Amino acid sequence: MIVGLGNPEADYADTRHNLGFACVRELARRMDVKIDRKRWQSLVGRSESRGVWFVLPQTYMNLSGEAVAKALRDTKLSAEQLWVVHDELDLPLCRIRIRRGGSGAGHNGVLSIISALGTPDFVRFRVGIGKPARKGSPAGRSYVLGRFTKAEAARLPSIVDGVSTALEVALEAGIERAMERFNRAGSLGCEELP
């Protein structure tokens, strides 16, 4: 099951916190899957040929775990079969890290999933959004719910494309191969901002 994290309303569509939604939608588009059915407090789609569920929780970020727990329970999948794609403040824009398990690192969506599942043992595709450019600016709610700057937005197609490719590699060759390839390079094929 591949879950993209974000917030459901149109006001949040182009915000940093919704990068997980954008990446999972792109992978679904590549696989010719529509994510348009309502189920488990989410929008969902399924690739029958690949046996992959695509889930975009519609609960708001802080309650993502409720939707994910329902989806796993109904599909009888384990936490180890869950991949979560989300924005990451601790990585610069244009960077990705794939990891299995670990803490929520302050990300409310990931923390909600850990709490609802009772385990941190799922895969995370952590997609960098960086921190505010100005020294002393708080990297909090207003930043992650803010829209990308013009310079950042110009890099988004490369970021979404790169994350979708990482997900494809993981599906084709396994998580370990994707980690080896993308964690080593770290870059998603776009130039980091100074």
pLDDT band at 135 (very low <50, low <70, confident <90, very high): low
So which residues are the catalytic ones? 17
Instruction: Choose from 27-31, 102-106, 131-135, 141-145 the range with maximum mean pLDDT.
Output: 27-31
Read off the pLDDT of each residue in 113-138 and give the average, rounded to a whole number.
Answer: 83
Q: Are strands 42-47 and 37-39 parallel, antiparallel or unpaired?
A: antiparallel
In order of 27, 88, 173, the CA distances from 178 in angstroms are 15, 18, 7
Q: Are strands 83-88 and 52-57 parallel, antiparallel or unpaired?
A: unpaired
pLDDT tens track for 40-55: 999 999 999 889 999 9
In order of their start, the domains of the chain are 2-185 (3.40.50.1470)
Flag whether pLDDT at 140 surpasses 70. no
Read off the pLDDT of each residue in 70-83 and give the average, rounded to a whole number.
Answer: 96
- How many angstroms separate the CA atoms of 194 and 192, rounded? 6
